[in-house]
Every structure is written in C-alpha cells, then in structure tokens.
Amino acid sequence: MSQKHHQSYQPLPTAAAAMDNPAMSNSSSGSESSVNFAASGLPATYSSQQLVTSDSESMERLRLRGNGINAVEPSGRLSSINRQQWFTVIVLCFVNLINYMDRFTIAGVLTEVQKEFSIDNDSAGLLQTAFVISYMIFAPLFGYLGDRYSRRWLMAVGVALWSTTTLVGSFMGSFGWFITFRALVGIGEASYSTIAPTIISDLFVHSMRSKMLAMFYFAIPVGSGLGYIVGSKTAHLANNWRWALRVTPILGVAAVILVCLIRDPKRGESEGTSHLARTSFMTDIKELSKNCSFMFSTAGFTCVAFVTGALAWWGPTFIHSGLKMQPGNEDLQLDDVSYIFGLVAMAAGLIGVPMGSVLAQHFRSRIENGDPYICATGLFISAPMVFIALIIPRSSGTLCYLFVFVAQVALNLCWSIVADILLYVVVPTRRSTAEAFQILISHALGDAGSPYLVGAISVAIKNHMSSSPNSPSTVQGLQSLSQVLGNATETITSQASDDLLSFKSLQFSLFSTTFVEVIGGIFFLITACYIIKDKNNATRAALANDLRLSAPQNQKDIFESDCLVICTDIALQERA
C-alpha cells in the first residue's frame, strides 16, 4: 500500500459505532473529500473500541439503541423537563413534606402528651421507636412490591393508611392504644418513603437527577420544622394537643388524589434500560450485600439517622428545660421553644440540603469519589456544633439556637447525596429493594432506637443522681465529667431540683450523638474507597443485560458490519 493510500485509510464504522457517533452517518453521506480531523490534525477514527466507558456514555448509548418504543429522552437540563415530570416531582415533594410533618408533630407537644398519659422519658421515647420499628419492618415488603408492581397505587394506599391511622389515633384515651396506632402510621409511611425516590430516578439522569433528589429530600428538614410549628401552634390555639394530629390527615386526603394522577415511569426508563430482567428477592439481597459502597454508605446514613432521630425528638424538650432555668424564663412554654426550633430546622433545611447537592455536582467533575467526602465532612463539622449546643442552653438561648442551626446545616448535606449514591451504584431493578434495605438498616440501628435509648439513659442517670446525691464519689465523678464537657462550674448537690436533674441527665445522654457522628464520618470515608468501582459495575451490569436482550434482533446486522471491518482491515494490512 502506498503512503498516500495508507494515510487516507480509516476503519469502517460498525453498526454499534454508528449508533454511538451521529457524525459518522453525516460523513458517510457526504463527499469523499469531506474528512473529519481531530485536534492533532490526524484523521478522526470512529472505531467503537474504548478502554473505559463512563457511566453517562454507557447509559446514553443504551437509550439511543432504543430499548423500547416508549423510551423517554432523559432530562439533562431544566428546560427539557415537561409538565408531567414537573407535576410528578411536585406531588412527591408535597407528600414527603406532610409525611415528615406528621412524623414530628408529637415532638412539638411531647410535654403535654407525657402529662396526659403520665409517662416518663423512656416511655415518651418509645412512641417514636414504635413508629420506626413498624416503618422499618414493612419497608422491605414495599421494596419488593415496588420493584414488581404499580408504584403509584402502592403509594396511594400507603398515604391513605397513615392518614387514617393518624386521625384515629388522635382519639385514643389510653397510652397502649395510642402507641399502637402510632405504630400503624409507620406501615403507611414505609410504602411511600421506599418507592418515591425510585420514581424520580426513572424520570431523570445525571445532574438533573441530583437536583430533583435535592428538591425531594429538601422536604425532610422543612417538613420536620413545620411539624414542630404546626403541631405546637395548633395545640395552643385549640387548647388540646390532640388537634395537632388532625392537620396532616386533612392534607393526606389531597395527597392521595394527587398521587393517583402522577405518571409511573418504567423502571430504568431514563437510562434506556427499561427492559432489564428482574431477579429474585434473595438474589437482590445477595448482590446488595456485596456492594461495598451501598453497605458502607448505609452504615454512615444509619449514624445520621441515629443523631437526627435523637435530636429531633428530644431537642425542643431539652432546650426548653435549659431555658426555663434562666432568670425570667420560669413561665416559658414548650410550644414557644418548639416554634423557634421548627424555624431553625426549616432554615437549616433550606440551606443544607441544596448546598449538599450543589457541592456534590461541583466536585463530582473534579473528584469522582467526592460524594462520600462531602458527607463525611458534614458529620465531622456537625459533631462539635452539637456538643457546644448541648452545654450552653442555660447560658444563652440565642447561641444555643445558632449552634443547632450550624449543626443541622452540616448534617443536612448528607440527605440528597446518600440517595444519589444509592441510585448510581445499584441497577434500576434493585433500587426499590435497596431503598427498603437501607431504610431497614438505618432505622433499625438508627432512629428506631435512639429516642428510646436517649430517654432510657437519661432516666437511669437521673435515678442514679437522685438516689445518691451526697455520695462523695458521685459528686466527684460528676465534677470530673463536667470539667471534661466544659461545665466545670456546675456541681450536682443534694439540694438540686428535679428540673436541674432532668436537664443534666438528658444532657449527658444526648452527648452520645456526637460520638455517633464521628463514627458515621468514618463510614463515609471508607465508602469513598469503593464507590468508583461499584458505580462502574452497576453501569456494566445494565449494559450487559441490555445487550443480551437486544442480541436476537440486532445480531445479524452487528455481525455483518463487524465482519466487514475485520476483513477490510486484514486485506489492507496484507496489501501494505
């Protein structure tokens, strides 16, 4: 072959490569003199061979190959989102908002509940624990159903269930029946929380998915804050805490109607993998347990849930008990503290959740495994802020709320990022199961037990301090602990009031949350070591499955095209 002929040679495109690069079809129809050149000046090649395939390229390639007539163009820009997609996202965010409003309404009126049922801190914490236990037990069931049946109707039934049980529970006169209906509320909420994020993942991809998940999880701190505010103010206006539980059921009726109107996309539709083969439930569990990124990020998220559950449940009560001991605050009401605490939680959510999403998108192009590092940083920042907030409510209410705000902003960085990590390290047909598995673990070891555990520890500490107030060893031990915690000026004596004992015992119990935050940060650092590998594995699994399903239809064309390339290359090399 002559040198001139050799320079003008370029491999013929295969069928797969033609699909990957639309410029090839344009050049093949043009004149022979129209040759595309790379930046180096050499003729551009359209070979389909690649050493590494990125996540976005692989998923886009799957979509372009048309795995289904009804495949939807993935939304990568805000302008590309249609009205139906906007409606679906807004409805899901609204339901998530009232979901968390309902969950934390009781925390805003907890003192009134304790007085009516004559219960101590441990039984009060059991109210939230009973709810979360049923929530986490039924999450795997709804995860299994969500991967196989209509997600829209599953959510509608779930929202109707928790709205009904919340309303009926508000009329219960005994603590046993009241806690039973709180547990039933958890069953309904499990159906929604497990399924809703997977619908968003099937509507959007890449950065747009991250933005929509941030909007969805943005409703968690905002809804929690509204729960404190609406619950406390409704109870104050009605002069009865039970009316606080009757607000969200009214909104729940509207939510059921709206959920029935949303669109339930095919699983994996946004990524062009809507025909992925389903596997058995046990296979899904085995594969998820081998996914290191999923397991360690779930462990880190469990620590977030532990801290969030404990602080959200006991925060208003603890701050109220501390502020009441300041001169002039003897008549301070819990609903006033709950109102301010709710505003702080909402403001922290308004800033923290979007900030986490923005930081993730900013650093993702520079640091491929940057998502877990952001979560770890948030926990490491939050831990000392929580510590300071716990030791100053008797000195300054303003500073206490300030440090609570900073701590919650740092903690809220994790919400949308953890959800995004799950969605890009798990194949589409296992996502509802993965969501359920994450809910089960994070709640079982996180906020299912943290309210009760903190309450039980505080009762034990209070009983110990009350039973031996004059013991030299007890006083000396408390003085040493106070010095370590920065409270060297405080000594518990035999003349200490019940309010002071309650405050100190709950304070010491809540210090456990700072240690849990540090442990969670370590789990996220470990996640960063595996996340790139697991993300690529999920992409390859979806790609391989798609090729197997499409092989009978396209096998002949791809075979003939690839054979032509091979034969031409061999012939030209022999002539040279």
Residues 465 and 428 in one domain: yes
Q: Are residues 387 and 315 in the same domain?
A: yes
Most confident range (mean pLDDT) of 79-93, 130-144, 237-251, 534-548 is 237-251
Q: How far is CA 528 from CA 84, 194, 307, in A?
A: 36, 25, 22
pLDDT band per the 50, 70, 90 thresholds, residue 494: very low
Q: 303, 445 in Cβ contact below 8 A?
A: no
Q: Which tops the pLDDT comparison, 391 or 269?
A: 391
Residue predicted with more confidence, 57 or 410: 410
Same domain, yes or no, for 7 and 147? no
Q: Look at residue 391 and tell me whether its pLDDT is greater than 80.
A: yes
Q: Flag whether pLDDT at 399 surpasses 70.
A: yes
Torsion of Cα atoms, 283 then 285 then 290 then 295, to 10°: 160
Give 462-480 pLDDT, tens digit per residue: 888 777 655 444 445 444 5
What's the pLDDT score for residue 212?
Answer: 82
pLDDT reading at 410 higher than 90: yes
Indicate the range of 73-87, 327-341, 367-381, 559-573 predicted with least confidence.
559-573
Mean pLDDT of the chain: 75
* pLDDT > 50? residue 4: no
What domain range includes position 10? 3-49+543-575
Residue 552 has what pLDDT? 53
pLDDT at 57: 43
The structural domain count of the chain equals 2
What is the phi/psi pair of residue 330, to 5°?
-60, -30
- Which pLDDT belongs to residue 80? 66
Radius of gyration of the chain (CA): 28
Q: Is residue 253 part of a domain?
A: yes
Structure confidence at residue 519 (pLDDT): 95
Residues 211 and 124 in one domain: yes
- Helical packing angle, 110-117 and 121-146, nearest 10°: 110
pLDDT of residue 544: 64
Residues 510 and 570 in one domain: no
Residue 416 has pLDDT above 50, yes or no: yes
Residues 496, 521 within the same domain: yes
Q: What is the mean pLDDT of residues 43-66?
A: 40
Whether residue 268 is found in the same domain as residue 171: yes
Q: Distance (Å, rounded) from C-alpha 404 to C-alpha 406?
A: 6
Q: In whole angstroms, what is the distance from residue 202 CA to residue 222 CA?
A: 25
Cβ proximity of 207 and 361 under 8 Å: yes
Do residues 184 and 325 share a domain? Answer: yes
State pLDDT tens for residues 127-148.
877 887 888 788 888 878 877 7
Judgement on whether residues 234 and 257 belong to the same structural domain of the protein: yes
Q: Is residue 502 part of a domain?
A: yes
CATH number at residue 146: 1.20.1250.20
Which of 26-30, 88-92, 269-273, 372-376 is predicted with the least confidence, judged by mean pLDDT?
26-30
Q: Are 301 and 421 in contact (CB under 8 A)?
A: no
- Asked whether residue 280 is assigned to any structural domain, the reply reads yes
User: pLDDT (tens digit, 9 = 90+) per residue, 177-196?
Assistant: 998 998 888 887 787 777 88
Q: Which of 58-72, 224-238, 329-343, 347-361 has the lowest mean pLDDT?
A: 58-72
* 8 within some domain: yes
Local confidence band at 271 (pLDDT 50, 70, 90 cut-offs): low
H/E stretch holding 535: helix 531-575
Q: Which of 20-29, 144-153, 271-280, 552-561 has the lowest mean pLDDT?
A: 20-29
Which pLDDT does position 546 carry in this prediction? 57
- Residue 305 and residue 439 in one domain: yes
Candidate ranges 25-39, 176-190, 293-307; pick with highest mean pLDDT: 293-307
Residue 494 falls inside a structural domain: yes
Give yes or no: residues 183 and 42 share one domain. Answer: no
Report yes or no on 260 lying in a domain.
Answer: yes
Q: Summarize the confidence of residues 219-227 as an average pLDDT.
A: 82
pLDDT at 442: 84
Tell whether 523 and 565 lie within a shared domain.
Answer: no
Asked if the model's pLDDT at residue 407 lies above 60, the reply is: yes
563 assigned to some structural domain: yes
In a domain, 76, yes or no: no
pTM confidence score: 0.65
pLDDT per residue over 541-575, tens digit each? 766 665 555 555 555 454 445 445 554 554 555 45
